[in-house]
Amino acid sequence: MTALSRKARIAGLLYILASLVGFLRLIYIPNNLIVSGNAAATASNITAHETLFRWGIVTYLIASVLFLFVTFALYRLLEPVDRRLAILMVILGGLIPTTIFVVNSVTDVAALQFVHGADFLSAFDKPQRDASAMLFLNLHHQLDLANAIFWGIWLIPFGLLVYRSRFLPRFLGVWLMIGCFGWLAFSIAGFLSPGLEDKVFAYGQPFMLGEVATMLWLVIMGAKEQRSAAAIS
């Protein structure tokens, strides 16, 4: 295995790990515990599965930190292609989204506090506490929607670097850049027309799957050393 392929596989493995860890809070918990428009049912689900919900908070934080390492690993791989683009990729794909993720974890903590109904919340009756918990869960989702803008735009420098690298297939670079617009459409739809949010996400999947294809290519195929040398010279 060449040094370049080793860097590629490390980046791909971290990419897959971060995505799998983040699945619990980003996909599983919203689909299984949060009942849209029903604060009482949602609070009941969280109470019944509190350990799962707490693990969602923990994995949300772990995934965000892991994604910092993903972008740094990609930086080590792609920095020789264009250093400025690689730095932009780390900022847009690592530093900014991770900061938002960490801040957003507080909304889940707040929701859990209201569901528990601690002594200092005795001024609120249960329906009020349930409604407040739902409010914070909705705020969590809105911050994720805002963060999706960065999930999209970081794919532009990332895709350009892959396209120019010559040691990774150009079609992956194009696919990554197209995926940017899928995430942007999802984010914008969530704010302008929430009823269409799920449909936009579903229709955008073929474009967003460029990231899955890229992480799998990095792990399975690695990178071709001779093309790297040709591209950098």
Do residues 49 and 28 make contact, with C-beta atoms less than 8 angstroms apart? no
- The count of other CB atoms within 10 Å of the CB of residue 214 is 25
Distance CA 112, CA 49 (A): 11
Do residues 136 and 108 make contact, with C-beta atoms less than 8 angstroms apart? yes
48-67 pLDDT per residue, tens: 999 999 999 999 999 999 99
Residue 229 has pLDDT above 80, yes or no: no
Q: What is the CA radius of gyration of the chain?
A: 20
Which H or E element spans position 117? none
Percentage above 90 pLDDT, the chain: 88
131-146 pLDDT per residue, tens: 999 999 999 999 999 9
**To the nearest whole number, what is the mean pLDDT of the chain?**
93
Tokens of 180: 């940017």
Distance CA 34, CA 138 (A): 10
Tokens of 63: 């995934």
- Domain range list for the chain: 3-232
Going by C-beta distance under 8 Å and a sequence separation of 6 or more, which residues neighbour residue 198?
none
95-108 pLDDT per residue, tens: 999 999 999 999 99
63-111 pLDDT per residue, tens: 999 999 999 999 999 999 999 999 999 999 999 999 999 999 999 999 9
Q: What is the pTM of this model?
A: 0.90
Which H or E element spans position 57? helix 50-78
Distance CA 129, CA 140 (A): 17
Mean pLDDT on 114-127: 83
